[in-house]
Structure 1
């Protein structure tokens, strides 16, 4: 798996979500690497990592586990966002020993919510795929940037154009070969299993944006019901990516949770 290391100290691994790459974490890597070695990965079929033959949440999680073991990061602290957050919770359920921080994880929706997620994310991917040539213009204007990212951020107009442009370019099967299969796995695959009280071998912190429109805040209740030993942290004025909308508070949460 392609990955980038920065900083020094005890390692912390960053795992992006659907359609993203290791660059999704750019708003917080600098601050984190001032205190820790940061290992930001490209999941299979995203960024610069080749795709798997079979793409499911389980197979992506297996690949992540193999990467951690191969790189001497078996017990490293690990942070995930969205689909990546679901994957790191699955690692915790399987017995991971390093601290796990999951930011707005998927997989805790009910039938209605997953239908809404499937409809909106499929429409978003289709639209962005069709307008790839216009993305520099769309992301260059605060108004159109807000329209394009309203589903993901509580304040899209504040986000840097290059960050938004890279993210939207990842919402294409050409740049992200596993996008369609991973999207279908999220929508139609099994939902995230939980961990019985006392069964986890690690500390788990779940962070949630109160204004999240991708995985609504109501799903946080289900997440803590399935992971009753987890700590729940709320981010105010925050959408689906706390590390975008509240980067300083996200860094503080990661460092305090893993210290």
Structure 2
């Protein structure tokens, strides 16, 4: 069951109140988990129990996704807004410099949190922002097609498709290399999360200008890429390593763009190794 926390964020029109939904389990040093665009915090469900054996795990629905409401008027869905908002979230939850792991958009946000020294370690799983312009256009057009499909399919058809391995593959094979491992309930929930994501369009628009060019010195950083990532191709990991030369670059064999479901044990080990 999600909890909600609210806190002020500065805008050009004065402070605005932002609310974020989150779940928190486990004990130990804090670990913040950030999902990708169009997804929700449940993307981390396959690994959260493993992580919670060693960490105080906080899985967050980003603004305008999952159960978190849209940002209030006057706030943009860009890095200059969302990164400080996540810092304010940590303050509101009395978390001092957590470890952070993020996937896709969440990986980009995790690296930005590291660059701002708001966290103590970063694990970025297929982070956005290391693309060429052609790769970005391909990824964005794929995301838009996924969003359109989720919005056009009637809910009863989504539920029917989710009951078979072939149907789950049709709905989620763009992000999972092993979609058959995802439960029917999870596939329905994440398809509806994509369908109903209030922040999707504005986040995608803000991402058109994103290119991560800065190092993240002085922190443990792991960049991990699935070898079967069909959205942000794994060659982008080599590019990311050039930008962040001190980072550890890890291959995730047989994993897709959202690797937590494809190999939970491996992903949990990568996150915990970085946070140690």
TM-score (structure 2 length as normaliser): 0.87
Q: Does 1:25 align with 2:47?
A: no
Q: Please name the residue that 1:123 is paired with.
A: 145
Secondary structure, in 3 states, of the residue corresponding to 1:60? helix
Q: Deviations over 1:107-131 (max 9, x none)?
A: 1110111111121111111111111
Alignment RMSD: 1.4
What are the Cα deviations for residues 157-203 of structure 1, in whole angstroms up to 9, with x where unaligned? 2221122211111112xx321011112222x22212321xxx62311
Runs ≥4 residues deviating over 6 A: none
1:159 to 178, 182, 194: 182
Gaps of 5+ in 1: none
1:249 match: 266
Higher RCO structure (Cα 8 Å, ≥6 apart): 1
Note the 1:1-259 alignment, pairs <5 A: 1-52=20-71, 53=73, 54-133=76-155, 134-172=157-195, 175-186=196-207, 188-195=208-215, 200-259=217-276
CA shift in 2, pair 1:125/1:11, >3 Å: same
Give the CA deviation at 1:132. Answer: 4.2
| Aligned-pair CA distance for 1:17 | 1.1
Q: Structure 1: how far apart are the matches of 2:237 and 2:154? A: 33
Which deviates further from its counterpart, 225-234 or 53-62?
53-62
Q: Name which of structure 1's ranges 133-142 and 102-111 shifts more when overlaid on structure 2.
A: 133-142
Structure 2: distance between partners of 1:44 and 1:97 = 19
SS at match of 1:13: strand
In structure 2, distance between residues paired with 1:220 and 1:59: 26
TM-score, normalization by structure 1? 0.93
User: Comparing both structures, which one devotes a greater share of its residues to strand?
Assistant: 2
Give the Cα–Cα distance (whole angstroms) in 1 for the partners of residues 232 and 112 of structure 2: 17
Cα distance in 2 for partners of 1:9, 1:124 equals 37
The count of corresponding residues between Structure 1 and Structure 2 is 253
Stretch moving more, 89-98 or 211-220: 89-98
